[in-house]
Structure 1
Amino acid sequence: MFPTWLTEEYIQIALRGYYKDTQLCVLKVWAKPATEKGENYVGVMTRIYVDFELADGGLQKKSFILKQGVPPDAPQADLFAEYDVYNRELEMYDVVLPKMSAILREANFNEKLMADAIVVDRKRTIMILEDLAPLHYTNADRVKQLDIVHTKLVLDMLAKFHAAAIILDQREPQLLRRNYNSHFFSREKKGYEEVFVGLFKAFIRYVKNQPILWDRYGKKLEHTISHLMEYAAKSVDVTEKDFQTLIHGDCWTTNVMYQYDDEGNPTTVLPIDFQFSSWTHPTVDLHYFFSTSLKTDVKERESELVQYHFYSLKRTLEALSYKGYIPSLFEYQLQFERRRFLSVVIANVFQPIMVYEGCEDPEFVNLYQDTPQGIRFQDSMYESKEIQRRIEEILPILDSKGFLDAH
């Protein structure tokens, strides 16, 4: 349903500005939901269809995406307000991404880094964005996950994103560090602690029903849950000696969109959803992406993928005439490994949601609250044979690296 303020006149004024046509006339507007229930917990997406006439008499039929926050009475509304996710994304589309795109164009990197913003309305906390579907952008299958070709396209995109942010930080010191210093695991914020601890309890509940896994890892997991947020925060911490940039912050299958050639091969990738962009180490994006989105045979090539991203990032920085510090590949791999605890959280807690195919109600509160309905949903996440196989695979690795021990 349209908000009452979203009139034909409002849209007409916006389109006149976007198309630089003061005579543009909106003829008809209608809308329908752009996402299904459970596909987007952070906001409400509406696809707006507009028929309009240009000054030269040309008729246009276009669609756009209206992006709003969740209703004030939604259970997650206070959580997202605490992390200021909506104002952060408005600033990304209004200020940061256009500056980063301009930086990349200086070195003839002309791929789109963002959907065009038709309107960024800070008063109403909404955006109207170009609809990427008519440009033939689409999501890959979140359940089947990504092969090596899809994966490397994302790593190249992230390298350009990270490089452009590094250059922007040099040109406008404190813009990014000041406004993007909070993340899921910020110590001064508490909202996501309930979410992650609730999800980790569900993970422990599954492991408890696997006698061999429980005998080996049960005590360590019970110790870990009491330190979960601090260990994760340490993984995101950076010091002046660390390589630092703005990260996407929520880079997984559903938050990247691909274009394909006539043979079905992906040719281009575009990131979307920047509510959790933050200033930290670039490998935080890699851990999140690897732990949520890759096919098993691709994730097994993790060190190679870190190397691939590193060289892509280095080439992009060199093309942008960056003269600052770039770590060696050896140092970069070590910096990636020091953030391995993120895999404990993300792979075991987030991924089961991201590939969920069950029938339980995917309301946000059911992800982590211990109500009967919530527990049914959480337990059903671990019925997936693929998730069970991945848990059996990742727990010995994390344990052998010491990430289940006190640290």
Structure 2
Amino acid sequence: MFSSIKLNYTLVQKKGQNYSGLVVACHLQAKVKDQPKTYDWMAKVPLDDPTKFNWLRITQREEKELGFYQDVIPALKDFITQKGSAIQLSFCPFVYGEFNKDIPKEKVVQSSMIIMEHLSPLGFMEPVNKKSGLDLDHAKLAIKSLGEFHAASHAFYNAKYGDLENILEKDHIQTNDFIPEIIAHFNDKQTNRIYQTLTYVGVNGHKYVESYKQFAKDVVNPLKLRDQLSNPKVCEFNVLCHGDPWFNNMLFKYDGQKPIVVCLLDSSPTID
């Protein structure tokens, strides 16, 4: 028996800090089987912006993120335990999630929700001196955590399927490669930005634009080359990646001024 007593919530991100979602801190006081309980959670929902709806659906961002926390992470943890490994995956503890596929774009804010543990009461905080970037101690923790995740994912999928061939066609989180559907749109915008930037390079800026166009035509188009290098091929699965591992998606525990534990947030799972 669960009954809510009091719920307080606070928007923890300013407008524009997150491209696709809103993050809300929730403090819940409740009774569970007549016993008082306190819960501190972070809830993530899509922005209340119908113009982002098609992007969310094409990229399947909501399904992938929810599937990552709800299915992939538990499977990886079970695999690590079975193998007797000391690896500790450093992702934020998952509480609850839902995805509503058949919802109109006008109600995009209601299309999905992911609830995680609020890490601040557990002793985690943003990197000290974040504006200066991560120093060596922070970077070593982050790289070790990401490396262990990469290694675990490689071993898990290899054991699950017997080999890594055609894994993109076998596993749900890998199967829907959205890049070809949206990359042309983003490339057109980025090309125009490049042209615009080059025109600002002194009085001869227009000449740099023409040189860039000629280079892209006769030698290599930098954007197409980038796409070729970043777009995975069916038989070349290597590891699962976090997808967005910059310091805004990391929290740390400290012993004095020294970081001792990292927790990774806001994963946008990709493959490499």
Q: Is the 8 A contact 1:93 1:117 kept in 2?
A: yes
Residue 270, structure 1, aligned to residue 263, structure 2: yes
Aligned to 1:101, which of 77, 91, 110? 77
CA separation of 1:204/1:95 partners in 2, compared to 1, >3 Å: closer, same or farther? farther
Q: Which residue is equivalent to 2:143?
A: 155
Task: Verify the 8 A CA contact 1:29 1:49 in the aligned structure 2.
Answer: yes
Query: Residues 278 and 220 from structure 1, CA distance in 2 versus in 1: closer, same or farther, beyond 3 angstroms?
Result: farther
1:131 aligns to 2:109 (yes or no)? no
- Which residue in 2 is equivalent to 1:231? 225
RMSD over aligned CA atoms reads 3.2
Contact 2:9 2:25 in 1 (8 A): yes
Deviations 1:43-74, CA, capped at 9 Å, x for gaps = 111111101234373x333321111112242x
1:76 is matched with which residue: 52, 55, 58? 52
Kept in 1: contact 2:199–2:206 (CA 8 A): no
Q: Which of 6, 9, 16 matches 1:38? A: 16
3-state secondary structure, aligned to 1:189: helix
Letter in 2 for 1:51: Q
1:345-394 Cα offsets, whole Å, 9 max, x none, are xxxxxxxxxxxxxxxxxxxxxxxxxxxxxxxxxxxxxxxxxxxxxxxxxx
User: Taking every aligned residue pair, what percent have the same amino acid on both sides?
Assistant: 18
Which SS does the other structure have where 1:249 is aligned? coil
User: Structure 1: where are the runs of 5+ without partners?
Assistant: 1-22, 281-407
**What do residues 298-321 of structure 1 show as CA deviations (whole Å, max 9, x unaligned)?**
xxxxxxxxxxxxxxxxxxxxxxxx
Equivalent in the alignment of 1:119: 96
1:247 is matched with which residue?
Answer: 241
Deviation, structure 1 residue 96: 0.7
CA distance in 1, matches of 2:85, 2:206: 56
Task: Tell me how far apart the structure 2 counterparts of residues 241 and 82 of structure 1 sit (CA, whole Å).
Answer: 23
What amino acid is aligned across from residue 271 of structure 1 in structure 2?
L
Query: Does 1:26 pair with 2:4?
Result: yes
Aligned residue type for 1:278: T
Query: CA offset at residue 87 of structure 1?
Result: 1.0
Partner AA of 1:245 in structure 2: V
Higher normalized strand content (fraction of residues): 2
Larger helix share, 1 or 2: 1
CA 1:218/1:28 → structure 2, altered by over 3 Å: closer, same or farther? same
- Report Cα offsets for 1:226-265 as digits up to 9, x if no partner: 934321111114457857111111111111221111x211
How many pairs does the alignment contain? 250
| TM-score, normalised by the number of residues in structure 2 | 0.77
Map of 2:271 onto structure 1? 279
Q: 2-side partners of 1:216 and 1:267: how far apart?
A: 52
